[in-house]
Structure 1
Amino acid sequence: MGVAYSVGEVDHLYIFFVQWSPEIYYNKHDDGKNVMMVEPDTHVSVIDTLLSNPASKPWNIVTVKQQKSRLRSVCRSLDSQDLLPVLLNHSHVLKEHHLDKLVGHMPARTREYHWKLMYSTAEHGTSLKTLYRNMTDVDRPVLLVVKDMDNQVFGAFSSDPFKVSSCCYGTGETFLYSFSPDFQIFRWSGKNSYFIRGFLDSLQMGAGGGHFGLWLDADLHHGSSYSCNTFCNRPLSIHQDFIIQDVEVWTFI
């Protein structure tokens, strides 16, 4: 069955085919220059030839809607890959989907930096003192990652490295987060400034209302998470009192 083309359609198709199959239109002359093999007034016959012999090129016909959807998907994929941070060390807890969710909520001053592992129970043993000691020379924010015995992952972003202190420290950049069961972050509520406090026998994040948002013991074996005024969070784990499987602390360099 024949197909009717307007003059404008023929011109547009011709330009497309010149770009798609230049070997049909041009050939190398002895002096190296491209010489046109098809005269402009033969547009229609050439187009008909190409359409009647599609085997010369692999064609994949898609709608405009399908193509736009594919482009959006590719862009999202590239954006996600570009955003994922580079981990300088292996993580026993963090997977790609954790990083993908977390990185978009990190303060701008931490982005485009590599992540360096400063403490890991898998590598340094289960000791809060060791965690503090490994923070001695750190002068930038840190990310606390906890995995409990129910394989729930949660933790906190701290504006300051963890240390033993006589009072609370930190800024409103600090937040709690949880992947249990779905990803959620809990930012500063503004109700108080009990962001972080370090003791030799415990690490506390968030307070008010009689509970801590996140609390870890000296042996990094037991922990708890309750709703607190600092972050107005829900418990980060499915159990308010939990047994710790892994702890990691990352910084940004």
Structure 2
Amino acid sequence: MSRWRRIGAARGGSRGARQLLPLSQLPPLHATDGQACLLSEAQRARLIAQLPPSLSLCAWELLHSTERDGCSLALAYRKLEKAGPTVLLVLDAAGCVFGGFASSSWHVSSHYFGTGESFLFAARPEWAVYPWSAANSHFLLGSPDSIGFGGGGSFGLWLDESFEFGSSGRCDTFANEPLAASRDFRVIACQFWGFNAMHESPHLPHESSPTSPMHAIGEPPRTSRHLSWSGDGSSASRRLMQRT
């Protein structure tokens, strides 16, 4: 099975990514308090091309963010446990933006869960996508004190219960390179985006979904990195970096 490595702007190639949508036709973003997505619209178009086709029509709903909701994994679980597929976006102290697509709802479990539709990606400074390698089925893992993508070697992406620290290493599940500039990183902001089929983009053509890969708590937030965001993902990240 072919695996992605770092993908340059002129190279392309993927596990069946669709043609990029014009920016004017991207599904809308729904978020309260005027928050911006950590991805630029160009980056979001690239990410949408990797999602299951059934989600490419759906509006994005900001389900949980550290800026708005506080830095509590327990609270995030309450919002995400019945949310279905989500995109996790992370901005770290080095200015890198990266994350993962979770094909199943996040919840506390003693076992890995999810499906082979899950994947990891890096958005800044360089775009890369790491789909399932088929080496194992360690897609998603949720515990009371952390969440993680991948396994076998290291977590491909791991965050602690306070959304303050994380790590990213090579894992067999996604055969990924580390997503951040260093293995261990400090988190500036996290966002969990869900998909709302009730608000589909009128511009996007419906398409049939190809065969999917094999399917293989709470307390109030303690802290909140409260920052004001505006503009696209790049300007949102800059404002966060400047005021943290």
TM-score (norm 2): 0.68
The answer on whether the counterparts of 1:180 and 1:237 sit within 8 Å (CA) in structure 2 is no
In the alignment, is residue 111 of structure 1 matched against residue 56 of structure 2?
yes
> What's the CA shift for 1:133?
0.9
1:83, distance to aligned residue in structure 2 (A): 4.2
Q: Hey, what does 1:250 align to over in structure 2?
A: 193
Residue 201 (1) aligns with residue 145 (2): yes
- The runs of at least 4 aligned residues of structure 1 exceeding 6 Å deviation read none
Asked if the contact 2:139/2:149 (under 8 Å) is kept, the reply is: yes
TM-aligned CA deviation for residue 161 of structure 1: 1.6
Deviation (angstroms), 1:97: 2.3
Verify the 8 A CA contact 2:64 2:192 in the aligned structure 1: yes
Match of 2:122 in 1: 178
Counterpart residue identity of residue 155, structure 2 = F
Pairs within 5 Å for 1:32-71: none
The 1:92/1:115 distance shift into structure 2, 3 A limit, reads closer
Letter in 2 for 1:125: G
Distance in 2 of aligned mates of 1:240 and 1:99: 25
Q: Which runs of 5+ in 1 are unaligned?
A: 1-77
Instruction: Please state whether the residue corresponding to 1:198 is helix, strand or coil.
Output: strand
Please name the residue that 2:101 is paired with. 157
Whether 2:22 is the aligned partner of 1:80: answer yes
| Other-structure match for 1:129 | 74
User: Partner letter of residue 237 of structure 1?
Assistant: A
Asked if residue 215 in structure 1 is aligned to residue 158 in structure 2, the reply is yes
When normalised by structure 1's length, the TM-score is 0.66
CA distance in 1, matches of 2:29, 2:145: 30
Q: Which amino acid aligns with 1:190?
A: A
SS of match in other structure, 2:101: strand
The 3-state SS of whatever aligns with 1:102 is: helix
- Count of matched residue positions in the alignment of Structure 1 and Structure 2: 174
Among candidates 37, 41, 44, match of residue 99 of structure 1? 44
Q: Which of the pair has the greater relative contact order for Cα pairs under 8 Å at 6+ separation? A: 2
| Cα distance change, pair 106–189 in 1 and its aligned pair in 2 (3 A) | same
**Contact preservation (8 Å) 2:82, 2:105:** no
Cα distance in 2 between the residues matched to 1:81 and 1:151: 24
Query: For the residues of structure 2 that align with 1:79 and 1:185, how far apart are their CA atoms?
Result: 17
AA matched with 2:120? L
- Change in CA separation of 1:83 and 1:157 when aligned onto 2, cut-off 3 Å: farther
Offset of residue 175 of structure 1: 0.1
| Structure 2: distance between partners of 1:123 and 1:252 | 19
State the shift of 1:104 in Å: 1.2
Task: Give, in whole Å, the separation in 2 of the partners of 1:249 and 1:204.
Answer: 14
State the alpha-carbon separation in 1 of the partners of residues 140 and 146 from structure 2: 11
Cα RMSD (Å) of the superposition? 1.5
Unaligned runs of 5+ in 2: 1-19, 197-244
CA deviation profile, 1:91-132 (whole Å, cap 9, x unmatched): 252222221221111110101110101000000001111110
Q: Deviations over 1:125-172 (max 9, x none)?
A: 01111110111332x210000000111100000101211012100000
The 1:124/1:234 distance shift into structure 2, 3 A limit, reads same
SS at match of 1:231: coil
% of aligned pairs identical?
Answer: 38
> For residues 20-39 of structure 1, what are the structure 2 equivalents within 5 Å?
none
SS at match of 2:192: strand
